[in-house]
A and B are shown apart, each in its own frame.
Chain A
C-alpha cells in the first residue's frame, strides 16, 4: 500500500550566528553598547556555525520515523524548522502541502512539538490540572479544538491521582510523561518528539513507548518523528531510522538493514585492567584482519572497556579465553554478542562509510525530485 507523503524536505540548511560577547563595559561604558548595537544591525563581526547542511527527508502518513545522532548533530534545529519555529537559510520543504517558510503559522496547526525540556514550560507552582487547562486554552485561542479532556489525558498518562499536585512535586519521569499531554489534548497530523526519553529509567521509557505506539500512532493515527541520541531507545519503535551527524543525514536505515548488518558482524566486549595502547596492540594481534573498529572508554584506575566490532567468524568463548590468556590480558568480564544499532551508528561515524552512503541517500532524493 502506498502511503501519502506528509513531510517533504529538500536540501535545507541552517547557519547560526555565534552570540556576540558583551563585556560589562560594552553594556554601560563609553557608549560601547551603541557600537555593539550597530554591529548587530549590520551583522558585522559575527562568526557562523553550520547546524544543518543540505538535509532532505520524507515521512509518510502514520509512520514513526526515528532520527538518531550525537549531541549537536542538528536534530533539534531540524525539529524547530519542521514546526515553523525557525526558518531555514536554504532549501525548501512542506508539511501536508504547507510551505515551511510562507505558511509557518499554519504549520503550527498541523504540527505539535514536544521539546527536549518540555516540562520546563509548565508553571511549577500550579497544579497538574491548572497547567493542562492552560495548555487547552492556548490551543483554543488558535481555534484548535481539544480532542480529550484533562481527566482522560491524565488517565492515559497514569497520572490521575496526581491531578491536584503541584508540578514541582512531580518526579522528572512524571514531568516528562506530563509533557506528552500536549500531544494527547489535541489532534495534529504530525508530532515531533525531541529526545522524549532523556533521563528516564527503563520502566518510564517503556511506559512512554506504549503511549507513543498505542495512543498517538495507532489510536490517533498521527505521523511521528522521534529523535534520540541513543538508538536502543527507538529501534523497536520506528519503521525507519535516519542517522544524523554534523548537520547531515548520513544514512537512512530500515530494521532489515540492521539485521543484515548483524549477519555480517559480531561484537566482543571486554573490560580489562592495563595500559590502553598495550592492550589495543594485543587485541589487534588476536583478532588480526577481522577487526573493523575498536571502541573504548576508560574508567579511573586503568580500567578500560573495549567494544570490538569484528567481521563475523565463529569464535567460541573458550577459544577467545585461550587467546586472551596467551597474550596475558587480565579481564574483568567478556561478552560475545550480536551488534546493535548503536554499533551500526558508531560503525558509520568511525569508518567514514557514512559519507558514501550519504551521497547515495542524496542521489535518491534528486531522482525523486526529477
Chain B
C-alpha cells in the first residue's frame, strides 16, 4: 500500500507539471501522423502485392503498430525514467532521503502507458476516419494471449534493463538521435508495417533476432488468425525472454553498484 501511495505522489506532481504532458501529447500526434503517412505510402505502392499475403491490411498494420507501441513503452520506461530523473534533477531531490527510486520509475511507466493508450485511441480514430477501418478482431486463444503477454513483458523488461544499464555503464546520459532511427528500423524489421515475407531475405535475418517480431506475429495470430507456426514462435520467444531478462538483471545490478560508488545518478548534489 505504501508503494502505491508513493507512486501516486509522483504521478500527481508529474500531471501538475502539465507542460511535460502537453509536449508528450504533441509528440504523440506527430508520431501518429507519420504512421498514417507511411501506411498510406505502403498501401499505394504495394496494394496488389499486399493483397496476396494479407486479407485485411488495415487491421494487420493496426495490430502491428499498437503492439509495437506498447512494447516500446515498456522497453523504454526505465531508460527514459533514468534520463528524466537525472537531467531534471529529480534524483537529486528524492535520493537525499533514504528513498528508493522504484516508485518514481513505476509512476513514469504508468504515465507512459497512459500516454500510450491515448496514442492508441488517436491511431484507431485516424485509421477509422482516413482509411475506413472496420475492426474485425476476435481472441482465438485466451491462454495463449496470457502466455504471450507474460513473455512479452519479460522480454521487454530485459531489453529495458540492458538499455538502462548503458545509461550508467557507458555514460550515455544524453541518449542519441540515432536511437530514434534505430527504433524506426526495428519497427520496419519487426514487421509492424509489412509482412516479413516482403522484407529481403538477408535483412530478414535481423528480424529473426528481434523479440518484437515474434510478439507482433503472435498477437496477429491471436486477434486476426494469421497463419504462423505458433509453437516455434513461442519457443523462440521463451528462449529470448529468459536470455534477455537474465542478462538485463546482471547488467543493471552492476550498473546500480557503479552508480552508488560514483553517485552517477546525481547531477548537482
Considering the complex, which residues of chain B in the window 1-48 have a beta carbon less than 8 Å from any beta carbon of chain A?
2, 6, 9, 13, 16-19
> Does B269 have its Cβ within 8 Å of any Cβ on chain A?
yes
Q: How far is the CA of A261 from the CA of B236 in the complex (A)?
A: 78
Partner of B170, one of A36, A105, A123, A137: A36
Do the beta carbons of B171 and A22 come within 8 Å of each other?
yes
Do the beta carbons of A83 and B96 come within 8 Å of each other?
yes
Least distance between A19 CB and chain B CB atoms (Å): 5
Least distance between A232 CB and chain B CB atoms (Å): 24
Considering the complex, which residues of chain A in the window 24-67 have a beta carbon less than 8 Å from any beta carbon of chain B?
24, 27-28, 33, 36-37, 40-41
Least distance between A340 CB and chain B CB atoms (Å): 30
> Does B117 have its Cβ within 8 Å of any Cβ on chain A?
no
> Does A142 have its Cβ within 8 Å of any Cβ on chain B?
yes
Number of A-B contacts (CB under 8 A): 108
Do the beta carbons of B178 and A27 come within 8 Å of each other?
yes
Point out the residues of chain B lying under 8 angstroms from A344, CB to CB.
none
Do the beta carbons of A85 and B97 come within 8 Å of each other?
no
Partner of A17, one of B99, B170, B262: B262
Point out the residues of chain A lying under 8 angstroms from B261, CB to CB.
86-87
Do the beta carbons of B169 and A40 come within 8 Å of each other?
yes
Least distance between A122 CB and chain B CB atoms (Å): 8
Number of B residues with CB within 8 Å of any CB on chain A: 38
Binding stretch for chain B, among A109-117, A201-209, A244-252, A273-281? A109-117
> Does B132 have its Cβ within 8 Å of any Cβ on chain A?
no
Least distance between B29 CB and chain A CB atoms (Å): 21
Point out the residues of chain B lying under 8 angstroms from A134, CB to CB.
9, 13, 93
Partner of B97, one of A116, A117, A120, A138: A138
Q: How far is the CA of A16 from the CA of B264 in the complex (A)?
A: 11
Do the beta carbons of A16 and B19 come within 8 Å of each other?
no
Do the beta carbons of B171 and A19 come within 8 Å of each other?
yes
Do the beta carbons of B269 and A80 come within 8 Å of each other?
yes
Fill in one digit per residue for A117-148: 1 if any B CB lies within 8 Å of its CB, else 0.
11011110110001000110111011010000
Q: How far is the CA of A118 from the CA of B19 in the complex (A)?
A: 22
> Does B268 have its Cβ within 8 Å of any Cβ on chain A?
yes
Least distance between A287 CB and chain B CB atoms (Å): 45
Interface of B (DSSP majority class): helix
Do the beta carbons of B170 and A22 come within 8 Å of each other?
yes
Partner of A118, one of B182, B262, B268: B268
Point out the residues of chain B lying under 8 angstroms from A83, CB to CB.
96, 269
Do the beta carbons of B96 and A112 come within 8 Å of each other?
yes
Residue of B with least CB distance to A107: B98
Partner of B182, one of A19, A28, A105: A28
Point out the residues of chain B lying under 8 angstroms from A108, CB to CB.
96-98
Point out the residues of chain B lying under 8 angstroms from A106, CB to CB.
98
Least distance between B52 CB and chain A CB atoms (Å): 35
Q: How far is the CA of A141 from the CA of B9 in the complex (A)?
A: 10
Q: How far is the CA of A85 from the CA of B91 in the complex (A)?
A: 11
> Does A352 have its Cβ within 8 Å of any Cβ on chain B?
no
Fill in one digit per residue for B88-102: 1 if any A CB lies within 8 Å of its CB, else 0.
011011111111000
> Does A72 have its Cβ within 8 Å of any Cβ on chain B?
no
Do the beta carbons of A22 and B89 come within 8 Å of each other?
no
Q: How far is the CA of A130 from the CA of B95 in the complex (A)?
A: 19
> Does B138 have its Cβ within 8 Å of any Cβ on chain A?
no
> Does B166 have its Cβ within 8 Å of any Cβ on chain A?
yes
Point out the residues of chain B lying under 8 angstroms from A24, CB to CB.
176, 178
Do the beta carbons of A41 and B268 come within 8 Å of each other?
no
**6 A-B residue contacts at CB 8 Å?**
A27-B176, A27-B178, A28-B178, A28-B182, A41-B254, A122-B93
B interface residues (Cβ-Cβ under 8 A, vs A)? 2, 6, 9, 13, 16-19, 89-90, 92-99, 166, 169-172, 176, 178-179, 181-182, 251, 254, 260-263, 266-269
Extra A-B contacts (7), CB below 8 Å, given A80-B266, A126-B13, A139-B97: A22-B171, A37-B170, A40-B170, A105-B98, A123-B16, A123-B17, A125-B19
A interface residues (Cβ-Cβ under 8 A, vs B)? 16-17, 19-20, 22, 24, 27-28, 33, 36-37, 40-41, 80, 83, 85-87, 105-106, 108-109, 112-113, 115-118, 120-123, 125-126, 130, 134-135, 137-139, 141-142, 144, 182, 194
